[in-house]
Amino acid sequence: MPSRLTSCLVACAAACATVSAEEPSRARAALLSLFAEWREAQRPTVKGGVPDYTPPALERQRHRLDALRARLDAIDPAGLAPPERIDRALVLAEMNGLDFDLRVLRPWSRNPAFYANAIAEQSDTPAHEGRTIEGAIELWQLRLPLQEAELRALQERLRAIPRLLVQARANLTGDARDLWLAGIRSERQQSEVLRAFAETLRPHHPALVADAQQARAAGRRCHGHAPLSQVHHRLSMDFGLRIKRTERSPVQGPARLFADS
């Protein structure tokens, strides 16, 4: 017959096993809940088909990122199984990536090519190189003629492009001369992509041709028709003069350069 001491040891071991089983369960549940919220927080708010990259929207995303990061830090890796520790590390890496975008890269304010959202060719990497705008139209994935649901989705995205570019003119205030020069070329390529796409649509979906043409026209209005050499000269002057100016004499942001072209 087991002694009283043996019975106590068995009971204690069972209790410890129950606690140790509950801790990973709670940590895992917290990680799963956090992951679902994180996937939503990664994406910008979309209003009427247009992703919101305005400063107030990005500030809200910054606050949400900070809150989610604090919750992730509170999940003790010791309470997770090895595969879940890897998941936690991956989520942390993604959060660090968004933090870097918000603090350093800021493509929505520094890179005009960020707003070229009609993508004609498949990327040679598993994902696109660099940050891609939310709701990009992957033209190379379309198989014409489109089903009704695909047709409505494409029309909504094409009609959102002019409003997206209006937002872009206000957002693009960053100082990144090389990105601007490359972005101007990219937007001109975007114009050609939309022109060719409108012709591709004509035999299958003639009602969408006007939407593609209006999207192209909006891009041409937004970025103007100044010769590249003139833009290069004005950007060089702008960034050269910035070195000599003080905070009391601010210089116009690059987005204003095309208003006078």
In this model, does residue 254 exceed pLDDT 90?
no
Sign of the C-alpha dihedral computed for residues 85, 91, 95 and 101 taken in this order: positive
Residue 242's closest CA among 232, 228, 252, 233?
252
The C-alpha atoms of residue 31 and residue 87 are separated, in whole angstroms, by 9
Distance set, CA 66 to CA 32, 38, 46, 108, 121 (Å) = 18, 11, 21, 20, 36
Residue range 227-238, pLDDT digits in tens? 444 445 445 545
Domain boundaries, the chain: 21-105, 109-122+131-256
Residue 52 confidence (pLDDT): 97
The C-alpha atoms of residue 172 and residue 110 are separated, in whole angstroms, by 6
Q: Which of 6-10, 105-109, 146-150, 174-178 has the lowest mean pLDDT?
A: 6-10
pTM: 0.75
Residue range 102-142, pLDDT digits in tens? 999 999 999 999 999 999 998 887 777 778 899 999 999 99
Residue range 65-102, pLDDT digits in tens? 999 999 999 999 988 999 999 999 999 999 999 999 99
AA identity, residue 83 = P
Q: How many CB atoms lie within 10 A of CB 132?
A: 16
Contact 13, 6 (CB under 8 A): no
In this model, does residue 165 exceed pLDDT 90?
yes
**What residues have CB less than 8 Å from 167, skipping those under 6 apart?**
50, 52, 53, 54
Residue 220 confidence (pLDDT): 82
pLDDT band of 3, cuts 50, 70, 90: low
